[in-house]
């Protein structure tokens, strides 16, 4: 066992003990003199317990209210009631940016399957040459994320955008999702362009960026809305590695995937740092 803290505040200890237990952390409380001591009974939970204690101290009422919302099924980051319609369930899992961008990607995909296809591709691809970045048209650094060339490609990316982007937006807000979209999209597009030229497209770099963010911000925090099960993590990483082999039946923008993941990991680290300093300021 390892002692986490000691206090004379019986009410605070009672609330904190309940909060940690609800988050799945094995803790116990003992008396020592005129103080109450909080202990974690398994050493593997120490880091998680310390994070949760910091969150609790920063906003005790807020974290308890979040637990109550989750228990009642009303928290925006949890699944809606099972009797809700599929449309309602999908909408409750996303925010305005998630929804609007998915709609835009869908409209572009439909246009790419009409006579507008060539003009659409020429307008949205990153560059008209194999060597020059579009400094005079900087939006082209991002617009390749709108391009999808097969139904499977389109559905795969929109699904993961909704799954990861929706949870990210509901947790951190629309502004943070826009930043992640731009940073991961531009970085992955530029890296892919440098390797293969302008003939590529897709949202996969952003998807892997959001995946990287989730890996970092939810690390050892199983109660976090972006916490990913190990099976999903393994699937994403195996798919990434398979892209570098000849085993897949489709052409994969491997550099965009890897660059997106790298940029997402750095954004996740930045978010953890921001959260840490917010806790310090609120302590």
What residues are labeled active site?
204, 257
The answer to whether the beta carbons of residues 141 and 190 sit under 8 Å apart is yes
* Tokens (6 digits) for 172: 């951190």
Locate tokens 């990607």: which residue?
A: 105
Read out DSSP for 52-96?
A: HHHHHHH-HHHHHHHHHHHHHT--TTSPPPTTS-HHHHHHHT--H
CA distance 33 to 44: 28
Angle between helices 204-217 and 151-160 (to 10 degrees): 30
The answer to whether the beta carbons of residues 189 and 142 sit under 8 Å apart is yes
CA distance 101 to 103: 5
End-to-end C-alpha distance for the chain, whole angstroms:
26
């Amino acid at each position: 066992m390892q002692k986490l803290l000691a206090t004379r505040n019986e009410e605070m200890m009672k609330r904190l003990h309940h909060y940690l237990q609800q988050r799945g952390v094995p803790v116990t409380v003992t008396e020592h003199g005129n103080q109450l001591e909080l202990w974690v009974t398994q050493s593997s939970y120490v880091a998680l317990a310390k994070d949760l204690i910091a969150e609790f101290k920063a906003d005790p009422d807020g974290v308890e209210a979040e637990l109550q919302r989750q228990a009642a099924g009303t928290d925006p980051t949890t699944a809606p009631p099972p009797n809700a319609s599929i449309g309602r369930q999908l909408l409750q899992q996303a925010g305005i940016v998630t929804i609007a961008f998915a709609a835009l990607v869908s409209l572009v995909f439909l246009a790419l399957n009409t006579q507008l296809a060539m003009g659409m591709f020429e307008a949205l691809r990153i560059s008209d040459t194999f060597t020059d970045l579009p400094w005079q048209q900087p939006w082209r650094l991002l617009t390749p994320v709108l391009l999808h060339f097969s139904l499977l490609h389109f559905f795969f990316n929109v699904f993961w955008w909704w799954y990861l982007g929706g949870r990210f937006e509901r947790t951190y807000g629309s502004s943070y999702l826009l930043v992640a979209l731009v940073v991961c999209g531009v970085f992955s597009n530029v890296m892919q362009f440098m390797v293969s030229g302008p003939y590529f497209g897709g949202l996969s770099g952003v998807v892997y960026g959001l995946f990287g963010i989730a890996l970092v911000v939810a690390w050892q925090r199983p109660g976090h809305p972006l916490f990913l099960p190990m099976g999903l993590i393994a699937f994403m990483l195996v798919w990434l590695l398979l892209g570098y082999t000849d085993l897949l039946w489709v052409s994969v923008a491997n550099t965009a995937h890897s660059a997106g993941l790298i940029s997402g990991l750095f954004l996740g680290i930045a978010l953890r740092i921001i959260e840490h300093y917010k806790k310090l300021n609120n302590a």
